[in-house]
Amino acid sequence: MNQDTHAYSILLVDDEPGIRKVLNITLTHAGFTVWPASDGDAGWQMFSAKHPDIVITDIKMPGIDGIALLKQIKKASPETEVIMITGHGDMDLAVKSL
C-alpha cells in the first residue's frame, strides 16, 4: 500500500457470500477499508453514502447488475475506478463492461 496515511476505500459488490468474505478478508489484510454489499441495489446505496475510492463489482447479480451499477457510478462520479469481476466466461459481458 501507498506510504501516505490515506487508507483507500473499496466498495465490494457481489451476491455470492463466499466471494465477498474472501475478498473482504484479503483486501482488509492488505490495508484497505472495505465496505461489502450483497447486490447492486445495496451497492448503489453504499456508494452514495460512502463515496469509495474504488468499486469492485460482480457483473451478474439479481436486481441491478454490475453493468447497470457501473453506469450509475460513472454518471455520478466519473473519476471513481470500477473493477468488474465475474465467475462467468461471457466475452460479450466483458466487452459490454468496457
Instruction: Rounding to the nearest 10 degrees, give the CA dihedral for residues 95, 16, 9, 26.
Output: -110
Given a cut of 50, the residues of the chain with pLDDT beneath it are: 1-2, 5
The boundaries of the domain holding residue 48 are: 9-97
- pLDDT value of position 5: 47
- Quick check: is 2 in a domain? no
pLDDT at 88: 63
pLDDT in tens, 31-56: 999 999 999 999 999 999 999 999 99
Domain count, the chain: 1
pLDDT at 1: 46
- By three-state DSSP, how is residue 86 classified? coil
- For every residue of 61-78, DSSP letters joined together read -SSS-HHHHHHHHHHH-T
Is residue 28 within 8 Å of 56, Cβ to Cβ? Answer: no
Domain holding 24: CATH number? 3.40.50.2300
